A = this chain, B = another copy of it.
C-alpha cells in the first residue's frame, strides 16, 4: 500500500477521533480529556492514540490543527465596493468574529491553550493564534485595505486600524467568556453589538462623504 498520508494528513478515522476529543474538551475542559477517556469515547485503543499522535501533547496539537483546518474561508474581497456594501461586509465580519469567539469550541481551545501557556513548551498558544487568528486577521486586513482603496475609510497604520476595530468589536467579551461568565449575549444583541462597533469604527476612521475631512 502506498503511503496514504504524506506527512500530516489524517485519515477519516483519525479525524473522527479528534472530533470526539473536541467534544470531551468542550464538555469538561482539559481535565476531561484523558487518553483512556478518549479511547473509550471514540471506540479506539490507547495504543492507536499514541501511534497516531505520539503523546498527549501531540494529541492536543492535533486537535487544534484539526479545528483550525475547518475554520478557513472567511469572507475575502478584492473588488471595488460601494460604501454600503463595505459597511455590510464590515458588519458581517464583526458578527462572524463575535460568533466564532463565543463558540463553545473556540472557548474550549482557547482555555486549553491558555492553561498550557505557563509551561515553557507553549507551542499550543502560538499554534492557536497562528492557525486560528491569522486567517481572521488577514480577512479583516484585506477588507480594510479595500475600504481605504475605495475611499470609504482612512488610516495611516493598517495594523493600528485593525486592532482598533478588533477592540471595538470584542471589548472585554472574550476574556469574560473565557472566565465562564454566562449570559453575555441576549438573543439579538450579537448583531446589535456588531452594528454598534462598526458605527464607532466609522466615526473614527470613516471619511466624510463629500468633504473627507477628519480622522484621529
Contact = CB atoms under 8 A, between A and B. Distances in A.
Name, among A110, A167, A196, A199, the residue most crowded by chain B CB atoms within 10 Å (CB to CB).
A167
A121 B175 CA distance: 18
A118 interface: yes
Interface stretch (A4-12, A27-35, A48-56): A27-35
A129 B204 contact: no
Contacts of A170: 167, 172
A210 to B, nearest CB: 15
Interface stretch (A38-46, A77-85, A86-94, A178-186): A178-186
A117 B125 contact: no
A65 interface: no
A38 to B, nearest CB: 16
- In the complex, the 7 A-B pairs of residues with the closest C-beta atoms, listed nearest first: A29-B118, A117-B180, A167-B171, A125-B179, A167-B167, A115-B115, A125-B180
29 contacts: A28-B118, A29-B115, A29-B117, A29-B119, A30-B118, A31-B119, A108-B118, A110-B175, A111-B115, A114-B115, A114-B180, A117-B180, A118-B180, A126-B180, A126-B181, A129-B176, A129-B181, A164-B168, A164-B200, A166-B171, A167-B167, A167-B170, A172-B174, A174-B175, A178-B178, A200-B204, A204-B216, A215-B215, A216-B216
Given A32-B118, A110-B179, A206-B216, 12 more contacts: A29-B117, A108-B118, A111-B117, A129-B176, A164-B168, A166-B171, A167-B168, A167-B172, A175-B175, A200-B216, A213-B213, A214-B215
